[in-house]
Amino acid sequence: MTKPRLLQPEDAAAWRELRLHGLKHEPRAFGATLAEEQNLPLAWFAERLGSTPVFATADATGALTGTVGLRFLPFEQMRHKGFVWGMYVRPEARGAGLGLALLQAAIAHAATRVEELRLDVVDGNAAALALYRAAGFTAYGTEPRALKHGGGYLDEVLMALRLPGRC
């Protein structure tokens, strides 16, 4: 397994391919949709990599296998929190610890900047819920009808992780 690394704007093409793969094959797992992102220019993905931390793992050929992002808000009273987004591991790479390694890299990065991490996960996404619990996240609530998907609604479990040393 390769160690997760922080992507740079030069990784935009590889990350775009992985991100769109996730949006296409796991549409219920994300707030964003393939339709929203598939026609965006490469510069949009590069700008995102330049403005927010995104981690990825790669296989022996250098192809990206998994990714997770962090988001921080500029508002003074919300600067103690960070948000995990865009967690995705290619189906053929799952079950080998990549998701946990990505999350741990994101947590270590976040611990230098914020006191707490938050994330939302669709209720019933057993793999993701188990992954986040394994990394130490606990559920603090549920948002009913958080996503409108395919004419129906999906609830999301809201999870948090206190980061030691900054509270």
Ligand X SMILES: CC(C)(COP(=O)(O)OP(=O)(O)OC[C@H]1O[C@@H](n2cnc3c(N)ncnc32)[C@H](O)[C@@H]1OP(=O)(O)O)[C@@H](O)C(=O)NCCC(=O)NCCS
Q: Which residues bind ligand X (CB under 6 A)?
A: 26, 29, 87-89, 94-100, 121, 125-128, 130-131, 134
Tell me the closest approach of the beta carbon of residue 166 to ligand X, in angstroms. Answer: 24
| CB-nearer residue toward ligand X: 42 or 130 | 130
Give the containing element (helix H, strand E) for 120.
Answer: strand 116-122
Least CB distance from residue 76 to ligand X, whole Å? 28
Task: For residues 103 and 99, give the distance between their C-alpha atoms in angstroms, rounded to a whole number.
Answer: 6
Closer Cβ to ligand X, 9 or 27, answer by number: 27
Q: Is 114 or 122 the residue whose CB approaches ligand X more closely?
A: 122
Checking DSSP bridges between strand 54-58 and strand 64-72, what pairing results, if any? Answer: antiparallel
Which H/E stretch holds residue 12?
A: helix 12-25
Alpha helical stretches, state H, 31-164: 34-37, 42-51, 98-110, 126-134
- Tell me the residue number closest to ligand X, measured at CB: 99
> Which residue lies nearer to ligand X by CB, 12 or 87?
87
Helices (H), 52-125: 98-110
- Taking the complex as a whole, how short is the minimal distance between the CB of residue 78 and ligand X, in angstroms? 21
Q: Minimum Å distance from CB 66 to ligand X?
A: 6
